[in-house]
């Protein structure tokens, strides 16, 4: 079997999605399954839809194109502000997109008119995380301009948290987002359809509230895929944390003495574990080029020694690993994103993998450190 590889349990992804959908549904919050970390893998996207996600969300138009070619028909929202150079593609394959720039929305408007389509626009508001967004003071004016553009429809507003600035969403911020939505509602003939409160970091807030205001959507990736709260890294009760396992193969095992030569200034000895001459070192066919090694959780008894672009060196004081043995790792979100995008890592799908078919959702809206 090919290695390195990622083994993906689709049943666990489906379970995680279903569990979160059921918990949020009584609050009137729908779930968008975020597929950017898995590079738009269609089988994983289908597992999310099968678990009850209202639609999908991705940051890259190439991922969306891949899902469409694989037969995914569910609504897809582009959650990174579209590039002006890609507005035609965005209108072609996405029902909606998150936006912050009027010039881009004007481009989407023109592209939608040419394609005889109506493209949904979600205006992203800067609520303190300092990544992307429109100032709350300017939101009303921009919303009015979008309402006057042909080919696009102002579907809603949204916000992002716990990304660039690490701002953890709380009741005050969510209440402010609801107030912004209601202020726009009062200026329009119909209320906004979507108020997208944030991502997986919003789950503790949502599940701890009896009244969530106007928030009716969350964009969930890490919670579905890895079953953890991205702020604390802790497991979310009832969710699987092992839907993705990275497997690497041993290509060498030898007992070598520790190096005593002087290291060059570019090499950091702090990342090396002192070598015991009685312990064999094993080399894995996996390196920095393949994933974020700091985001891997080492199996019990295995210690990380160091890594290069193509090799990871480990020791196992309990027993020697043999050439051809496989070592399994859990990954955090950063390691998962890089590993799924690595061209030399195979993907093996496990669990219930139904054949892709035309899907249209009709729901109503109500880290561990290496040592």
Does one domain contain both 189 and 144? yes
Does one domain contain both 14 and 91? yes
For residue range 191-227, list pLDDT tens digits in order.
999 999 999 999 999 998 778 999 999 999 999 999 9
Average pLDDT over the chain, rounded to an integer: 90
For residue range 61-116, list pLDDT tens digits in order.
999 999 999 999 999 999 999 999 999 999 999 999 999 999 999 999 999 999 99
pLDDT of residue 267: 46
pLDDT of residue 257: 62
For residue range 2-13, list pLDDT tens digits in order.
999 999 999 999
Q: Residue 67: count other Cβ atoms within 10 Å of its Cβ.
A: 24
Task: Supply the pTM of this predicted model.
Answer: 0.90
Number of domains in the chain: 2
- For residues 356 and 46, the answer to whether their CB atoms sit within 8 Å is yes
Does one domain contain both 271 and 308? yes
Residue 366 has pLDDT above 70, yes or no: no
Does one domain contain both 92 and 143? yes
For residue 355, is it within any domain?
no
For residue 233, is it within any domain?
no
Which of 199, 226, 253 is at the close of a domain? Answer: 226
Domain span including residue 270? 244-350
Does one domain contain both 34 and 87? yes
Q: Give 121's pLDDT tier (boundaries 50, 70, 90).
A: very high
Q: Residue 89: count other Cβ atoms within 10 Å of its Cβ.
A: 17
Annotate 101-125 with DSSP letters as a single string.
Answer: -HHHHHHHHHHHHHHT--EEEEEEE
Does one domain contain both 192 and 259? no
For residue 320, is it within any domain?
yes
- For residues 119 and 108, the answer to whether their CB atoms sit within 8 Å is yes
Which CATH number do you get for residue 206?
3.20.20.10
- For residues 76 and 95, the answer to whether their CB atoms sit within 8 Å is yes
For residue 296, is it within any domain?
yes
Which of 196, 226, 256 is at the close of a domain? Answer: 226
């Amino acid at each position: 079997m090919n290695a390195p590889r990622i083994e993906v349990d689709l049943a666990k992804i489906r379970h995680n999605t279903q569990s979160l959908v059921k918990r949020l549904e009584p609050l009137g919050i729908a779930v968008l399954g975020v597929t950017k970390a898995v590079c738009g893998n269609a089988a994983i996207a289908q597992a999310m839809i099968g678990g009850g996600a209202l639609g999908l969300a991705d940051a890259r138009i190439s991922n969306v194109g891949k899902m469409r070619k694989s037969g995914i028909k569910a609504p897809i929202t582009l959650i990174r502000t579209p590039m002006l150079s890609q507005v035609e593609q965005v209108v072609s394959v996405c029902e909606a997109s998150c936006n912050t720039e009027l010039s881009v929305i004007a481009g989407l408007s023109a592209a939608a008119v040419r394609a005889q389509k109506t493209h949904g626009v979600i205006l992203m508001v800067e609520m303190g995380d300092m990544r992307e967004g429109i100032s709350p003071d300017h939101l009303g004016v921009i919303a009015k301009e979008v309402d006057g553009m042909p080919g696009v429809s102002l579907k809603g507003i949204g916000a992002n948290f716990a990304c660039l600035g690490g701002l953890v969403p709380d009741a005050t911020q969510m209440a402010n987002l609801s107030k912004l939505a209601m202020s726009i509602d009062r200026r329009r003939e119909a209320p906004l359809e979507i108020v997208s409160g944030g991502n997986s970091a919003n789950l503790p807030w949502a599940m701890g509230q009896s009244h969530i205001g106007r928030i009716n959507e969350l964009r969930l990736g890490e919670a579905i895929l890895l079953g953890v709260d991205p702020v604390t890294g802790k497991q979310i009760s009832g969710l699987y944390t092992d839907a993705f396992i990275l497997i690497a193969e041993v290509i060498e095992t030898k007992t070598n003495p520790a190096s005593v030569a002087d290291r060059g200034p570019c090499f950091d000895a702090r990342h090396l574990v002192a070598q015991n001459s009685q312990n064999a070192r094993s080399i894995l066919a996996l390196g920095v080029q393949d994933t974020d090694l700091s985001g891997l959780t080492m199996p019990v008894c295995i210690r990380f020694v160091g890594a290069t672009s193509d090799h990871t060196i480990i020791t196992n004081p309990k027993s020697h690993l043999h050439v051809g043995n496989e070592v399994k790792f859990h990954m955090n979100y950063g390691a998962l994103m890089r590993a799924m995008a690595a061209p030399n890592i195979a993907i093996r799908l496990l669990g219930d993998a139904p054949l892709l078919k035309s899907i249209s959702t009709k729901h109503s809206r109500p880290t561990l450190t290496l040592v």
